Amino acid sequence: MNILVTGASRGIGKEIALSLEGNILATSRNEGALRIYHNFCVCDLTRDLDKLGRYIQENKIDVLINNAGDYIYSPIEDVDYDKIERIVKTNLEAPLYLISKAVPYMKQNRWGRIINIGSISGVMGEACASIYSASKAGLIGATKALALELAEFGITVNTINPGWVETEMGNKSAEDSEFSKDEIIDCIPQKRFITPKEIAGMVKYLISDDAKGVTGQSINLCAGLSVGY
């Protein structure tokens, strides 16, 4: 089974890639960090999509995990066009393009798994992160539409929406916000950040045959954050 994981050099993507069984194909911008994998493609999702598209077609991907993402915390009046373009291209346009390149082989094989890593911010919204929230909400919408489109071919499409995650990016996001990490944790029903291992476990399940009936779903893995406070 050929499994492609974007953003596999650190955090959630690295945990997912290292936890799965199969032929792991890893991508990120950081070549040095990718050298732990046997097969990898160095690329920037804002510039190198054609390169990654060809890599996907050449390697006949069975499972595509769109994990790579970008985040910005800023009042809307301080967000310029370049930042909007970067976030939307990384979080929404790139996953859709990569799916378009992976699907022909999946259809031919009449089996495939597409898993998008979204965000609870795409479900609930996040003040001062409107561009990020919008891009992740778009990913959820695309997941539902693609699940309908691809169901007859044995291809499932789902999104996992993590809340606050104990990663370098998660901790930096907390630092960038107007609240301390302790204040953020106090607003989470389970009083903790999610771990990358939990997300990897959900990915494993969605790839398995036990989850063949799960498609078009937006799964909130957020320690209760989406339920309320």
Active-site residue set:
132
What residues does 112 pair with on adjacent strands? 155
- Are the C-beta atoms of residues 67 and 16 closer than 8 Å to each other? yes
Q: Which residues contact 165 (CB under 8 A, 6 or more apart)?
A: 11, 12, 193, 194, 195, 196, 199
Look at the alpha carbons of 206, 209, 213, 215 in this order and tell me if their dihedral is positive or negative. Answer: positive
| CA dist., res. 82 & res. 84, Å (int) | 5
- Are the C-beta atoms of residues 44 and 23 closer than 8 Å to each other? no
Helix axes 94-109, 130-150, angle to 10 degrees: 20
- Are the C-beta atoms of residues 64 and 99 closer than 8 Å to each other? yes
**CA nearest to 118, candidates 206, 1, 22, 180:** 206
